[in-house]
Structure 1
Amino acid sequence: MKQKSDRRKRKVQIKKAAALLFLAMLAVICLVNLVHRDKEFSQKENRMLEQKPAFTLSGVTGGRYMKQYESYKSDQFAARDLWVSLKTNVDLLMGRRDSNGVFKGKKNYLLEDIAKPNEEQLEENIEAIRAFEQSYVDIPVYFALVPNAANVMSDKLPALAETEAQEKQFENIRKELGGKINWVDVQKVLKKHRNEDIYYHTDHHWTTLGASYAYEELAKAMGLDTANGPKWEKYTVSNDFNGTLSATSGYEQGYREPIHIYVPEKGEKSPDIVLNYVDEQKKTASLYDASKLKEKDQYAMFLGGNHAVIDLKTTAASTERLLLVKDSYANCLVPFLTPFFREIIIIDPRYYYGDIHQVMEENKITDILFLYNGNTFVEDNSISGVLKNNETE
C-alpha cells in the first residue's frame, strides 16, 4: 500500500512540476513579448508586418479592432520565424503537405494554390476592360492571362491535393471579354513545355524561360516583326534565389535556384532604352536593377520591382506605342518587347492613381496589352477603378 501511495505522490509531484514549468515558460514568453520591439518588415517572409491598430470605439463595437489586433499580435510575436519553422516541420512529420495556401510538391516545387474568384469584383473588372476597349475602337486590345504553376504543372502537386479548375476560369473569362478583345492563349504553349523550368521552384512567378515562350505567342498575335528582331541569349545573374512561396510556407528554405535574363546575342541589333519611374522621378538606362540581387526578393531585379507607372522609351525603328497594364508577371517579359515599340507605358493598377485616359491621349498609344497571372486577376480589386477613372463618355 505504501508503494502505491508513493507512486501516486510522485505522479502528483511530476504533474505539479510540469504545470509549474509550463506556467514559467508562459510567463517568460509573455515577458519577452512585452519588451519585444515591433518590426515593420519581415525579411524572411518578404512582406510588411501588421502594426498596432489605433483604438477607436467604433472599431471595438464593430469587431474590426480585435481582428486587426489579433493579426498584429500574430505578426509581431517574439521569435515568430522560429515558431513558424517548428510548426511547418511538425506538419511535415504528420504528413501534411500544404501551408498558408502553398503546396509542397514533387522535385522541390512549391505550388501556390489556385485562387477562387471574387465573382462580383471579377465581373466589374471584365466590364471595365470591355468599356475601355469600346472607348478606343481603333486601337487593338490584347489580353494574356498566364496560368499558375499548380495548373500547368499539376503533376508536381502532392498526392490528394485539390485545386480550383483554373482552365474553366480562363474559359469563362475569355467568353465574358467578348470577341473584340484579342485573347492570347499562353496556357497551351506553357503546358507544352511543362517539363522545363518555366516556373521557379520556390517563387510564385514564372521564369524568364516561361516568359519567353509566352512572348512568342504574343508576337504572333500582335504581328511583331520578329524576323527582323534580335536573337536571344540566356545569362545567369544569380544562383542564390529563394522565393516568396518558401517564405510564406516555411518549406524549402535551404533550396537555392538560378535567375536568368535573356539579352540579344552578341552582334545583334538592340535598341537603347531609358526607363522613367514617373512617380519616383528617377531614370535609368537598364531594364535590370542589380542591387535587388542583394535583397531577399531577387525577382525585383526585373524593372526594379513593381511601380505605379514606368515610361519606357527606346530607339527602336518602330513608331508604335504600347500601353501595358499588368502585374509582376510582366516584369521579366518586357525586355522581349523593347525592339518592337518606340515607347511602352507600363501601369500596375495596384499602385496607380492617375488618369489612364490622359495617358492614352498624351502618349498616342497604338496598342494595348493586359498581362496578368490567373491568381492575381481573379482576386484583383483595382483594375476596374483605374480603367473607369475620369472615363470619357
Structure 2
Amino acid sequence: MADKKTGKERKREKKQIYKAVIDQLPRGAGRVYLVVGLLFFVLLFAFTAVNLFSKDKKFSEKENRMLAQKPQAALGNIADGRFMEQYEEYRSDQFAGRDFWVQIKTLVDSFSGKKEENGVFNGRSGYLLEDIKEPDEEDLKDNLEAMKAFQQKYSDKKMHVMLVPNAANILKKNLPAFAVTADQSALMNKVRSELGAEFNWIDVEKTMKNHADEDIYYRTDHHWTTLGAYYAFQDAAEALGIPEDGQIPMKAYGISNNFNGTLSAVSGYRTGYKEAMYIYLPEGEQTPQIVVNYVEEQKKTASLYDSSKLEQKDKYAMFLGGNHALVDIKSDTGRNERLLVIKDSYANCFLPFLAPYYREILVVDPRYYTGDMEKLMEENKITSVLFLYNANTFFEDRMLSGVLPSGSETE
C-alpha cells in the first residue's frame, strides 16, 4: 500500500500543475489572467454583498414609479410560476446602481443597432415610445367584474370610462422600422364591450389621432401633454354634461423648458434632451375659486399645481403635486355636481379642466388608497364617477378590484 502523501508533497504537486498550465500560456499572460480572474471574483463578491445589504426602495424618483417589492412565497404562486416572475422583477428593480447599468447597457446595445430598451422604443422624430402592454387575463377579469359590481351597487350614479391610448398606438408612424406592438385599440374595444352600455364610454382615440402631428405626447415621457389633455376634455365635456356655451376659456402658459421624462430614465435614451411643459389657466373674472385638500397629508392649497416640483427630477409631479391616495377638490361653482375620479397619473393634468364645473371632485388613486370607498361615496354625496386611465396602466392594474365595493344594493 502506497504511503500517504504529506501536506508538503501535495502543495508541491499543486505548484507543479499550476506551473505547467502557466508555461502553456503566452509569455506574461499567466499573471494577467490571474489578476483578471481574481478581479472578477472580487467584483462578484462586492456586488453580491452590496445587493444583500442595500435597503430596498419603494419608489424611483427618476423613473416616477413604484418599485417591485420582495414577493411572499406561497404554495399557489410557486406552483404557477408567479413567484419566480415576481422575484426576478424585484431583483431587477432593486439592483444596486440600476440607473448606471441601464445607461451602460443602452450604450452597448446602441452600437449593435438595437432600437428598444426595457420596453421603450427609440422612435423617429425624437420620440421614445412605451411598448403596448398586454393584460394579465385574470387581473383584467377581476377588475372588470369589480367595476360592473360597483356600477350595479350604485346604479343611480352616472358611470363614465375614459381610457387614453398611449403614444405607441397614436404615433405608430414614429415607431422604429420593424417594431411590432400589440393592438391596443382592439384591447380597449374588448373592455368597452365587456363593460356594456351601463358605462358611458368616452372615446378619445379618434381625437388623439386627428391631432397626432401636434405635441400631444411628451417625447421623453409616457404621459400625454396638457395639449393632449385639453383636446380630450373637448370630447369628455359633452359626455360629462358640461355645456359648450358654459365652458370657461383656458389659455396655455409655459412653465418649464427643462423636462426630461421617465422613458428616458428607464431606457437610457435621450438623457440630455429637454422639452417644454405647459399649464392651462382659466381666463376671465368668473373663474371659480379652488381649494385642494390632500387628505392623508392633511395639507390644503388653493392651487392644482405645485411649482416646487419643477426643481426636482419628476417635473410632471407639478400637476396635482404628484400621485396621492385621496385628494378632495372643492370649488365655488354654481353647479352642484360631485364627481369621483378613479385614476392613474394621466388624470393629474386633466383635472384642472374639470375642476371649475364641479362643486366637489374626490380623486382616488387605487395604487395608494386603502380607505372605505362606500363611506366615500355616501358621505360626499357623489353624483357621478369617472374612471380615467391611460390604457397601459389600466391593463397592468392589480389594485382596482380590491378598492371597489361590490354588491347590488347600497347599505
Same fold (TM over 0.5): yes
Could you tell me which residue of structure 2 aligns to residue 356 of structure 1?
A: 373
For the pair 1:290 / 2:301, whether they are aligned, the reply is: no
Could you tell me which residue of structure 2 aligns to residue 327 of structure 1?
A: 344
Candidates 380, 385, 393, aligned match of 1:376: 393
Structure 1 contact 50–76 (Cα < 8 Å) conserved: no
Larger Rg computed on CA atoms: 2
Structure 1 contact 229–269 (Cα < 8 Å) conserved: no
For 1:194-343, list aligned pairs within 5 A.
Answer: 194-265=212-283, 267-343=284-360
**Shift, 1:65, TM fit:** 9.1
Could you tell me which residue of structure 1 aligns to residue 54 of structure 2?
A: 38
Structure 1 contact 225–340 (Cα < 8 Å) conserved: no
**Shift, 1:231, TM fit:** 0.8
**Separation in structure 2 between the aligned mates of residue 96 and residue 173 of structure 1, nearest angstrom:** 33
Candidates 11, 22, 29, aligned match of 2:36: 22
SS at match of 2:404: helix
Deviations 1:22-51 (A, max 9, x none): 224324524654468736465544456678
- Matched letter for residue 292 of structure 2: L
Structure 2 contact 132–169 (Cα < 8 Å) conserved: yes
**Separation in structure 2 between the aligned mates of residue 188 and residue 67 of structure 1, nearest angstrom:** 36
**Separation in structure 2 between the aligned mates of residue 74 and residue 19 of structure 1, nearest angstrom:** 33
Unaligned runs of 5+ in 2: 1-21
Could you tell me which residue of structure 1 aligns to residue 17 of structure 2?
A: none
- Matched letter for residue 152 of structure 1: I
**Separation in structure 2 between the aligned mates of residue 56 and residue 157 of structure 1, nearest angstrom:** 39
- Matched letter for residue 110 of structure 2: L
- Matched letter for residue 26 of structure 1: F
**Shift, 1:346, TM fit:** 0.6
Could you tell me which residue of structure 2 aligns to residue 3 of structure 1?
A: none
Structure 2 contact 154–410 (Cα < 8 Å) conserved: no
Could you tell me which residue of structure 2 aligns to residue 120 of structure 1?
A: 138
- Matched letter for residue 308 of structure 1: A
Could you tell me which residue of structure 2 aligns to residue 188 of structure 1?
A: 206
**Shift, 1:248, TM fit:** 0.7
Structure 1 contact 321–344 (Cα < 8 Å) conserved: yes
CA distance change for structure 1 residues 158 and 221 in 2, over 3 Å: closer, same or farther? same
- Matched letter for residue 75 of structure 1: Q
Deviations 1:135-184 (A, max 9, x none): 22222111111001100001110111111100100111111110121111
CA distance change for structure 1 residues 162 and 361 in 2, over 3 Å: closer, same or farther? same
CA distance change for structure 1 residues 21 and 159 in 2, over 3 Å: closer, same or farther? farther
**Separation in structure 1 between the aligned mates of residue 255 and residue 249 of structure 2, nearest angstrom:** 19
Question: RMSD value over aligned CA atoms?
Answer: 2.9
Deviations 1:329-356 (A, max 9, x none): 0110000011110100111111111121
Structure 1 contact 355–389 (Cα < 8 Å) conserved: no
- Matched letter for residue 102 of structure 1: V
For 1:58-77, list aligned pairs within 5 A.
Answer: 68=87, 71-72=90-91, 75-77=94-96
Structure 1 contact 145–372 (Cα < 8 Å) conserved: yes
Structure 2 contact 327–363 (Cα < 8 Å) conserved: yes
Structure 1 contact 274–286 (Cα < 8 Å) conserved: yes
How much identity, in percent, do the aligned residues show?
A: 51
- Matched letter for residue 271 of structure 2: Q
SS at match of 1:172: helix
- Matched letter for residue 348 of structure 1: D
Structure 2 contact 71–90 (Cα < 8 Å) conserved: no
**Separation in structure 1 between the aligned mates of residue 65 and residue 377 of structure 2, nearest angstrom:** 33
**Shift, 1:389, TM fit:** 6.1
**Separation in structure 2 between the aligned mates of residue 382 and residue 43 of structure 1, nearest angstrom:** 21
**Separation in structure 2 between the aligned mates of residue 70 and residue 264 of structure 1, nearest angstrom:** 43
SS at match of 1:13: coil
**Separation in structure 1 between the aligned mates of residue 92 and residue 147 of structure 2, nearest angstrom:** 40
Unaligned runs of 5+ in 1: 1-7
CA distance change for structure 1 residues 73 and 88 in 2, over 3 Å: closer, same or farther? closer
**Separation in structure 2 between the aligned mates of residue 157 and residue 195 of structure 1, nearest angstrom:** 14
**Shift, 1:85, TM fit:** 1.4
**Shift, 1:57, TM fit:** 12
SS at match of 2:109: helix
**Shift, 1:134, TM fit:** 1.8
SS at match of 2:339: strand
CA distance change for structure 1 residues 115 and 14 in 2, over 3 Å: closer, same or farther? farther
Q: TM-score, normalising length from structure 1?
A: 0.88
Deviations 1:317-372 (A, max 9, x none): 11111111111101100000111101001111111111212211111111111111
**Separation in structure 2 between the aligned mates of residue 297 and residue 153 of structure 1, nearest angstrom:** 24
CA distance change for structure 1 residues 344 and 45 in 2, over 3 Å: closer, same or farther? closer
